[in-house]
Amino acid sequence: MFTQTAKLVHQHLRRMHLLHDKAYVNGQWVTAASNKTFPVVNPATGATIGTAPDMSTQDTQQAIEAAHQAFQTWQDTTAKERSHLLRKWFDLLVQNHENLAQIITAEAGKPLIESRGEVAYGNSFIEFFSEEARRIQGEIIQSPIPGRKILVEKQPIGVAGLITPWNFPHAMITRKAGAALAAGCTCVIKPAEDTPFTALALMELAHEAGIPKGVLNVVTSSRENAPSIGNLLCTSPLVAGLSFTGSTQVGKLLYEQCSTGVKRIGLELGGNAAFIVYKSANVDSAIKGAIASKFRNCGQACVASNRFLIENPIYDSFIEKLLQEVRNLKPGGNVGPLINQAQFDKVSSLVEDAVSKGAKVLAGAKPSDHGKLFYEPTVLTDLTPEMKLYKEEVFGPVISIFRFDTEEESLKIANDTERGLAGYFYSQDVSQIFRVSKKLEVGMCGVNEGVISTAEAPFGGVKESGVGREGSHHGVDDFTYIKYVSLGNL
């Protein structure tokens, strides 16, 4: 069923005006200066959807210069003007909801129902920041000196480089670009090489909305050219800030590269979320939250639960009910493929390492016969610290279960990681809810909830999971400077 749907989507794409095989720079659809391209492959079928320009630093420099030139006028637009254009963009995104979802399914491999959910989620950021543009306020501070006024205002930083991942190719762009444009910044966007067509479709609709040339630019490239493009965005004196969503390893490298220019930086990096179920929890609700938190996008989400900690008195009943739900998950049905061979190999390797060291397999733990990049939904128990899965983010459809006896023990295990993006726990004990939510070392905490992302809430982590926040009114902070103006002798 999934493969047949993917084929129908692929056929429909060829008739879609949103599907572009050229990059978008300074309001124009352009090829790479070298005329080189790279293929974009549907991970569910292995079919090539099309090709995109394999751009280099030369092409990226032109995009940066276009964004810098556009900033000279865009920064002087009123908040109302920016709000109006963002709203027009949002309206077009809504009108093209189904076409956007089909592009995501074709290049990211998600089931169509999940792609539709991502489009709704991604669109919500443009709607939110169209409204937030008019609420980026300054302040007047009481002066200690007579005859002086202290004014504080927020100003756009300039050109923002946005480097986005493949797992949410729509929402990760709109969450960043919506905030940047609302603040008065211009953007150079580098989408992941696996999913460039979603980014280009967004640009088509931004163009139709009337967003001026140079304000938004998309540079596509193969994996080989990505590091040099990233370095240029980090080191160019014309780029004022960088926002990146991706792995902690790459985030650390970009952080270092940005330090040469002391650039404004926002990093949303990897997670290793714990999912704790205490004995007072509503187990049925916890099971529902566990499935949603783990298997969305085949587990390929930075906020996906990684380590499941179950209190001893409910351990057996939780596992029994969990396995019933996991058996209803079907690769090629409601669970899509992993994005590429490298990701498939990583998931397989982590599971094989754990099993070879004594982990018990309750479900899955093997490739699916549905297709080359499909992996069976997997449940493992009896994990120990020497297993790679004990510490590493799996980024796949694998549940690792741990047993604990006390609240203190659960927190010790949950916090025993260098990452601190999201965490989840289920409890009906009000006192415990306040204690645990305070002590979990994460930037986002879901209490009796398995899906917590929304445009209105700040998204980001602590420890090695990143710097800054996206979404909410805090989302514009990475794209604004605070300027203090002192008016004397009044």
Which residue out of 65, 127, 193, 268 is catalytically annotated? 268
- Judged on CB neighbours under 10 Å (0-12, 13-18, 19+), 212 is middle
CA–CA dist 174, 176 (Å, integer):
5
CA angle 443, 448, 453 (to 5 degrees): 45
Neighbours of 152 (CB within 10 A): 13
**Region of residue 219 (phi > 0: left; psi between -120 and 50: alpha; otherwise: beta):** beta
- Is the distance from CB of 441 to CB of 463 less than 8 angstroms? yes
Using alpha carbons, select from 212, 181, 223, 168 the residue that is nearest to residue 27: 212
Q: Quickly list DSSP for 58-92.
A: HHHHHHHHHHHHHHHHHTTS-HHHHHHHHHHHHHH
Which ranges of 217-314 would DSSP assign to H, the alpha helix? 226-235, 248-258, 283-295
Could you tell me the two tokens for 281? 């929890």
- Structure token pair of residue 19: 């599907």
Residues with Cβ within 8 Å of 227's Cβ and at least 6 positions away in sequence, in order, are: none
Contact 256, 454 (CB under 8 A): no
Residue 218 burial (C-beta neighbours within 10 Å; 0-12, 13-18, 19+): buried
Q: Rounded to whole angstroms, how far apart are CA atoms 200 and 196? A: 6
Cβ(73)–Cβ(243) under 8 Å?
Answer: no
Phi, psi of 224 (to 5 degrees): -65, -35
> What is residue 50's DSSP assignment?
E
Active site residue 268: yes
Contact between 356 and 314 (Cβ < 8 Å): no
CA dist., res. 56 & res. 53, Å (int): 9
Q: Which of 240, 235, 265 is nearest to 184 (CA)?
A: 240
Residues with active-site annotation: 268
